[in-house]
Amino acid sequence: MRSFIDQRKTSREDEIGIETSKSYLECEYPIDEDTACVVYIIPRTENSAWVAASFEHIFDELLSNLDEQTCDAIVDTWPMLASLLYNGIKERYQEAALGVPIPIAAGLGMLAWLAAKTVNTLF
């Protein structure tokens, strides 16, 4: 899985690139000549999927030694991050969540921070 912001752009010019595998679709959206945003569409049920982005190990150090003061600082400084982490703990992917590893990563051979959202009624 590639990071959300990736320097290895594979699509041509301004075209959106899509790669397929047995487990997911990889969608690459060009930002500039050398960089792209990468998101994954991962089947969940017959009519739903997760849309996810990998943030690799970016939050490891910040969250490695959580004490009350650090938790308060995260909530005050980055309320969206706090909300995504809370949703990940509670497995509330309908609202968007952040976690490591979350169930969608299990079959992808990785342990990385993923932001994910459930998308229903695809078909």
pLDDT for the residue numbered 60: 76
Q: What is the pLDDT of residue 61?
A: 76
pLDDT for position 11? 72
Question: What integer pLDDT is reported at residue 9 of this predicted model?
Answer: 72
Q: Which residues, at least 6 apart from 5, have a Cβ–Cβ distance to it below 8 Å?
A: 31, 35, 36, 37, 38
- What is the pLDDT tens value at each position of the chain, 123 positions in all? 788 888 877 777 778 889 898 888 999 998 888 888 999 988 888 888 888 888 877 777 777 777 888 889 889 998 988 898 888 888 888 888 887 655 545 555 555 777 888 888 755
Q: What is the pLDDT of residue 109?
A: 52
| Distance separating alpha carbons of residues 30 and 71, to the nearest angstrom | 35
User: Is residue 48 within 8 Å of residue 119, measured between CB atoms?
Assistant: yes
**What ranges do the domains of the chain cover?**
5-119
